Amino acid sequence: MVRNIVVIGGTSHPQLTQTICDNLGIPPASVLLSKFSVGETRVEIHESVREKDVYIIQSGGGKVNDHLIELLITISACKTASARKVTAVLPLFPYSRQSDIPYNKSGAPLVKSTLQSSSFTFDSIPPTPYPEKIESSSLVNGIDCLQNHLTNAQIDDRDSATSNGIRHPCVNGAKRRDTLDSTRSENSHFQANSLPATPGIPNSNGTPHEEAINARAASSLSIIQAFEPRPGYRQWVAQAGTLVADLLTCAGADHIITMDLHDPQYQGFFDIPVDNLHGRPLLRRYIQRHIPEYRNAIIVSPDAGGAKRATVVADSMGMDFALIHKERRPIKSSDRQNATMMLVGDVRDRIAILIDDLADTSNTITRAAKLLKKEGASQVYALITHGILSGDAIERINASVLDKVVVTNTVDQEENLKKCPKLEVLEVGHVFAEAIRRVHHGESISVLFQYD
Ligand SMILES: O=P(O)(O)OC[C@H]1O[C@H](OP(=O)(O)OP(=O)(O)O)[C@H](O)[C@@H]1O
């Protein structure tokens, strides 16, 4: 039993909090986490934290923004209640993919939008928005309006440049909308049913169901084609990772414990200690125990960004390695969905094991699996640290040629397990409990990463 320590669980993953507390031999602290009817988060700490070391467990995934605000308020509540030290334990760190935003060649950000004949929408809540499911109310929310105005403003500028410098008045947006519609009709590749086939990957390789899901998602994932950058101006997109790091520090966090940061350099955004634990030992143990004749299998990175992660696993286990190269900066929205994928390495008649840090929409792993099967792989496993699995990811995995998807429970998988027979979950609670115990006693935690 660890003394003088308080563990508080956020609402993101109560089961993981309980496992961590069971491993530490203490009960979770009594707290009230709720919401006022307006939607604001309410936090009450029901026991003394004075001069105690407090560990707050809150993961990303799910209602990520609500969880983040709840974490910030809880940190602040503990600090103002005289906690000696507050450590935020974020098994999946939210927003860590947003330290850099991918841009297309024209400078427009690669963001999700859904194109309808009359308007854009930027809904990103699960499920992955389908054009036919858009509600008219979604067209009037703040971000949609802002983006529409941005787009319309771009078109206005173009118009004014080609019409003797006279700016068209905005009468109920009618002029702008007309222009926008005509711009859209020129971009016929934006129509949901006219997507190009995946270069290098004939459509016939996937199941018809998978093709349908991917085509539907491709039609939803769009760059604003009407966007044309003003000369000398590149549209600014917030790099939210920096802000989130600052928010945690300002709220009063003294220390961060997380696992498999998408970009390990994100640790440099903080001026407090960040312990980035590794999920690799768990994945490695799974390979050794569950994959038959694993030494003949081949580790595959589904994109160049994850090559280092995957090679570390391959090298430490004396296994072969292959890489899928994914085109990173497509010009058209449909290209992001259908970007060219090329395999470097030989997977024929072997079990291919995809290793990645996270699966969100699961487009990456399902498309990689399709390519690997096409290249002759006998089975395809995906071993992922963070199973975010948002939107219709589970549906996509079920329809894919993937044989098995193994994730850790840094994100709650209870509901996903019920819906996905291919899914297996590895427990991480004991890893975080050991990290907390070591940090609390001032012991080194490097032993938790010294296996590579
Ligand atoms: O399930 P999905 O929605 O397909 O997302 C998963 C992919 O996203 C991340 O990489 P990213 O695309 O950000 O590229 P990077 O690794 O080069 O940073 C991650 O490393 C996966 O490869």
For residue 359, the ligand 1 atom closest to its alpha carbon is 1
* Domain-located, residue 130: no
Rounded Cα–Cα distance for residues 322 and 352 (Å): 9
* List of E strands, 235-362: 255-259, 274-277, 298-301, 320-326, 341-344, 351-359
By residue range, what is the domain housing residue 11? 5-99+238-275
Q: In terms of Cα–Cα distance, which of 232, 228, 249 is closest to 71?
A: 249
* Domain-located, residue 430: no
For residue 328, the ligand 1 atom closest to its alpha carbon is 17
Q: Whose CA is nearest to atom 6 of ligand 1?
A: 359
**Residue 71 pLDDT > 60:** yes
Rounded Cα–Cα distance for residues 297 and 287 (Å): 9
Look at 112 and 285; give whichever has higher pLDDT: 285
pLDDT at 113: 44
Q: Is 234 helix (H, G, I), strand (E, B) or coil?
A: coil
Please identify, among 220, 248, 275, the residue that sits at the C-terminal boundary of a domain.
275
- Give the Cα-Cα-Cα angle 286, 290, 294 (nearest 5 degrees): 90
* Residue 212 pLDDT level (bands cut at 50, 70, 90): low
For residue 326, the ligand 1 atom closest to its alpha carbon is 17
* Domain-located, residue 184: no
Percentage, residues of the chain above pLDDT 70: 65
CB of 220 within 8 A of CB of 114? yes
Rounded Cα–Cα distance for residues 84 and 52 (Å): 5
Q: Is 433 helix (H, G, I), strand (E, B) or coil?
A: helix
User: Rounded mean pLDDT of 221-250?
Assistant: 72
Helix, strand and coil in the chain, % to nearest 5: 40, 20, 40
Rounded Cα–Cα distance for residues 295 and 302 (Å): 20
* Residue 213 pLDDT level (bands cut at 50, 70, 90): low
* Domain-located, residue 384: yes
For residue 303, the ligand 1 atom closest to its alpha carbon is 22
Q: Is 34 helix (H, G, I), strand (E, B) or coil?
A: strand
372 lies in the same domain as 284: yes
Stretch among 87-91, 323-327, 401-405 having the lowest mean pLDDT: 323-327
Rounded Cα–Cα distance for residues 366 and 221 (Å): 16
Please identify, among 229, 248, 275, the residue that sits at the C-terminal boundary of a domain.
275
* Residue 241 pLDDT level (bands cut at 50, 70, 90): confident
φ/ψ (deg, to 5) at 337: -70, -40
Stretch among 86-100, 105-119, 318-332, 407-421 having the lowest mean pLDDT: 105-119
367 lies in the same domain as 307: yes
Q: Which residues line ligand 1 (CB under 6 A)?
A: 97, 262, 302-303, 305-306, 356-364
pLDDT at 98: 75
* Domain-located, residue 202: no
pLDDT at 419: 96
User: Rounded mean pLDDT of 372-399?
Assistant: 97
pLDDT at 28: 97
Which tokens belong to 437?
């115990």
Residue type, 22: D
* Residue 341 pLDDT level (bands cut at 50, 70, 90): confident
314 lies in the same domain as 381: yes
286 lies in the same domain as 406: yes
307 lies in the same domain as 417: yes
Which tokens belong to 387?
């199973």
Q: In terms of Cα–Cα distance, which of 252, 207, 324 is closest to 76?
A: 252
Q: Measured in Å, how far apart are the chain's first and last C-alpha atoms?
A: 30
Å from CA of 251 to ligand 1 middle: 29
329 lies in the same domain as 293: yes
Å from CA of 164 to ligand 1 middle: 46
pLDDT at 327: 66
Look at 144 and 397; give whichever has higher pLDDT: 397
340 lies in the same domain as 393: yes
Q: Whose CA is nearest to atom 14 of ligand 1?
A: 305
Please identify, among 248, 275, 302, the residue that sits at the C-terminal boundary of a domain.
275
The residues, ordered by sequence, that sit 6+ positions from 171 with a Cβ below 8 Å of its Cβ are none
For residue 97, the ligand 1 atom closest to its alpha carbon is 13
* Domain-located, residue 196: no
CB of 424 within 8 A of CB of 409? no
* Domain-located, residue 165: no
CATH of the domain at 266: 3.40.50.2020
Number of domains in the chain: 2
271 lies in the same domain as 292: no
**Residue 289 pLDDT > 90:** yes
Stretch among 107-121, 321-335, 352-366 having the lowest mean pLDDT: 107-121
380 lies in the same domain as 416: yes
* Domain-located, residue 404: yes
**Residue 440 pLDDT > 90:** yes
259 lies in the same domain as 306: no
Q: Whose CA is nearest to atom 15 of ligand 1?
A: 305
Q: Provide the residue count of the chain.
A: 452
Whole-model pTM: value is 0.73
**Residue 247 pLDDT > 60:** yes
Stretch among 132-136, 254-258, 281-285 having the lowest mean pLDDT: 132-136
Helices marked H in 163-231 — which ranges? 174-186, 208-220
Q: Whose CA is nearest to atom 13 of ligand 1?
A: 97
ipTM: 0.97
**Residue 143 pLDDT > 60:** no
Stretch among 18-32, 187-201, 241-255, 392-406 having the lowest mean pLDDT: 187-201
283 lies in the same domain as 416: yes
Stretch among 117-126, 178-187, 321-330, 434-443 having the lowest mean pLDDT: 117-126
pLDDT at 34: 94
Look at 185 and 376; give whichever has higher pLDDT: 376
* Residue 345 pLDDT level (bands cut at 50, 70, 90): very high
pLDDT at 156: 46
242 lies in the same domain as 373: no
* Residue 61 pLDDT level (bands cut at 50, 70, 90): confident
Q: In terms of Cα–Cα distance, which of 227, 220, 245, 39 is closest to 125?
A: 220
**Residue 177 pLDDT > 80:** no
**Residue 438 pLDDT > 50:** yes
